[in-house]
Amino acid sequence: MDYASSLLGLLPGGRRTPGLKELLNTVGSYLPAEQVERIREAAEFGATAHKGQKRLSGEPFIAHPVAAAAILADLHLDADTIIAAILHDVIEDTPTPKDQIAERFGPVVAELVDGVTKLDQIKFKSREEAQAESFRKMVLAMVRDLRVILVKLADRIHNMRTIDAMAPARRRAIARETLEIYAPIAERLGLYSIKIELEDLGFKALYPQRYRVLERAVKRARGNQREFLKKIEQQLQAALLKNNIAAKVEAREKHLYSIYKKMLRKRATLNEIVDVYGLRIIVDTPDTCYRALGVVHGVFKPMPGRFKDYIAIPRVNGYQSLHTTLFGPNGVPIEVQIRTVDMHRIAESGIAAHWRYKTGEQTDAMQQERAREWLSNLVELQNGVNSEEFLESVKVDLFPDKVYVFTPKGEILRLPSGATVVDFAYAVHTDIGNRCVAAKVDRRLTPLRTVLRNGQTVEIITAKGATPNPAWVNFVVTAKARGAIRHYLKGLRRTEAIGLGQRLLNQALAEFKISLDEVNPQTMQSALAELGMKDADELYEKIGLGERLAPLVARRLIQTEGPEEAGSGPAQPLAVAGTEGLLVTYARCCFPIPYDPIFAFLSTGRGIVIHRERCVNVEDYRKHPEKWLPVSWQTSPDRLFSSEIRVEVANRMGVLAAVAAAIASTETNIDHVSLEERDADTSVLVFELKVRDRKHLARIVRTIRRMPEVLRVTRTIAAHSRKRPYQ
């Protein structure tokens, strides 16, 4: 293999692109010789597969996977992971099949490579959809083997290190994806060293000017801080030794992106942020951490409310440390982290520590368990949603958690900042969330949309027949809750669509003096085959969702029955009661209510939309007569409907309250009110009300008209359009 053997010369190495020789030296320091030889063979195999391919920078393509492997070698990962990193682009960018990799390097390596491979072979509607589906595939591969994400993160780090060769627009898109997805994943898995580098590289590529300004300012500040920090380190070290505590005290540098985010979050100036000093104290045991904390608080006074115990309550990714902020000399804030050697190792390498090559038993079970719990939630989340919804939900789920609440049994649940009672219910179990009807926070009944605070105890009250409320989607913040509610609603929507589709098809068949039950089964099967439907339920669902027109389907079904069957009078109107569910909606342009003359428009994907016949938007629908439906009200609809009225009043103090009180006297709820100033003498009040029917609305209007301040009352015909007097 002349080409492959020349790799040592082609890839000289360096900080941005580590070479093969550098990689082999690193793995040789901790892996046995036979494993190093496997890695060399993988590099030669990859070089041959990528022969002739070059990166945008002009260097041989194989330089990229070798550099990605070197990043993982620095974490002392096992040989299979290193080999998978070297071969991670082989299936995607060369004709090499997965089976060949499995035969040569084993099934574990082949599965890892396949998990990282993008889905470029499938045609998607957009780059966003392709990216989202690729991410979904990667998450599912991560569930089988978490090393997939380690390879992907190493691939992303090297791509970000060499991103300057790309066009500016592409560079910004990749940088944004890195900051929104890959850096938070690294943090969630406890890979802080990788997370920090991804954030700084992403920040530099997305906002190069801001990065340069901040970098210069931080360099100046660090130069001034060096002597100051050295004195504080010596003071703390001496105090710890005096109390017989062996500890390593070191300065902790903030990385640029965290400084930038802190400036945005606190709306602080650069000087306010860079003037905060950071120190880390590393000791031997958790007990010593608390003893060291007492010593530190004896040297410098702690800031109230700035202490966090992540040892007793670890972060969701397993991170543990004590955090405190001190008043240093001259009142300068000093942020101190106190942790053990093991905690420090996990804080730096997180889940990667589990695959470090070692002869002893594997440790870090807590990180493994937490990571797998998170991934199992993602797998549950991806059921019933498309790839783009899944990707957005994962982005929400990746935000750092900041709220710790308790179950009635004292168990701790970690939730994102802003999480509500419903988020808590779904965090306990999906079934608990679905059947949630009420909740107690600290033993007091509270609304389900209540935002939770640290330390609260939450008890969920459930009922057997309860179901999720569609309105919950508007306030839940966790991906699990949002996904579960949407999944339920999609199932409910399908059930309702099938029922509505049956009614619409029956109505259309009535024109031909035939009912759905009388349609020949063979005729139905023939029509289903012609329309590409697997069964009648799918056909009814498409009709209910407005994707198929019932009159056309009806004509297809009666074709074989003979023309003599097909001549009837006008269609019977579809009866609506206002309780049909998600697929019968009432237009907010004209607010139809019972006993209004109405008509229906079949809207693709939404089902039936009911309008008043006098709605000014009707003209737009007249262009599609095939989508009109005759509808009528049931004799006594059993619900309240929204209606909107405009009340022109003389300007005087308290007139709004007086009109609202008059409406309330008719036992009517006001959903919304707005005030439109017309001139110095008159104003227009717009009320959205909940009414039973036209009679109820007429009573409200009569009550308002009796008021001396009221000049005129009109009912909305269409939003943002002309209004006609109430009839």
**Residues involved in catalysis:** 92-93
Between CA 53 and CA 43 the distance in angstroms is: 15
Is 319 strand, coil or helix? coil
What is the 8-class DSSP label of residue 54? B
For tokens 């006001």, name the residue.
670
Spatial CB neighbours of 110, under 8 Å, sequence gap ≥ 6: 98, 99, 101, 102
Spatial CB neighbours of 327, under 8 Å, sequence gap ≥ 6: 300, 301, 302, 303, 333, 334
Chain-centroid distance of CA 304 in Å reads 34
Between CA 543 and CA 359 the distance in angstroms is: 64
Q: Are 181 and 398 in contact (CB under 8 A)?
A: yes
Between CA 564 and CA 24 the distance in angstroms is: 85
Q: Per-residue b/e over 453-477, b at no fewer than 16 CB within 10 Å? A: eeebebbbeeeeeeebeeebeebbb
Alpha helices by DSSP H, 145-255: 147-161, 168-177, 183-188, 192-206, 208-242
What type of residue is 452? Answer: L
Comparing CA positions, the residue from 80, 11, 6, 93 lying closest to residue 42 is: 80
Alpha helices by DSSP H, 430-564: 430-434, 479-510, 521-531, 536-544, 550-558
CB half-sphere exposure, 311, CA atoms < 13 A: 19
Q: Are 126 and 134 in contact (CB under 8 A)?
A: no
Number of C-beta neighbours around residue 92 at 10 A = 15
Say if strands 458-462 and 436-441 run parallel, antiparallel, or are unpaired: antiparallel
DSSP H or E stretch at residue 612:
strand 607-612
Between CA 403 and CA 455 the distance in angstroms is: 8
Phi, psi of 262 (to 5 degrees): -65, -40
Q: Are 391 and 176 in contact (CB under 8 A)?
A: no
Angle formed by the axes of helices 256-266 and 192-206, nearest 10°: 70
Instruction: List residues bridging with 460 in a β-sheet.
Output: 439
CA angle at 30 for the pair 25 and 34, rounded to the nearest 5°: 80
Q: Are 45 and 91 in contact (CB under 8 A)?
A: no
Burial (CB < 10 A; 0-12, 13-18, 19+), residue 492, is middle
